[in-house]
A and B are shown apart, each in its own frame.
Chain A
């Protein structure tokens, strides 16, 4: 059973547009929701994370929106740039309990 379902699998966005990646989860005990960014040939790196006590967190052009009742969270990349082209992974965990579980990833291509 996949604990975190991520969509879409791939995404092509025009430069300056908004990229949106969605994740859904089943385990209501999850209380930490990070997003990781991975460039080709590199390991994933933490981009931004949220806990369920807030509905939105923004860092620069990157925003996480969190909907606890729907058990969904999403990553929005505003003013997308070619340098944002990478694979993005959502993840979730339970504090003091479970290791991070990852979604299957979204390959984002930002074209000029």
Chain B
């Protein structure tokens, strides 16, 4: 089983719909992240959380919200999806800041029509 699991893996939706992407991890890490990937633009940080009571905006948080339901769960919501939110979304965890790698899920591909 994957250490970082994202659901759904693929989703097609319409403009204006509310969408939730879920992430769960078995690594026991406190730190969780949501990144967005667009072709040619690399990975950009949307939101991150250092523990259950800590939520921080990243580089491109507008139009998104998150919920840290437990140490192991971090969900990303699009309250009213728009076409330019069509992208590949990655959840990641990290053991600590400053050093150490991010562990990524397999990604959730979202298409907004």
Q: Do A and B come from one complex?
A: no
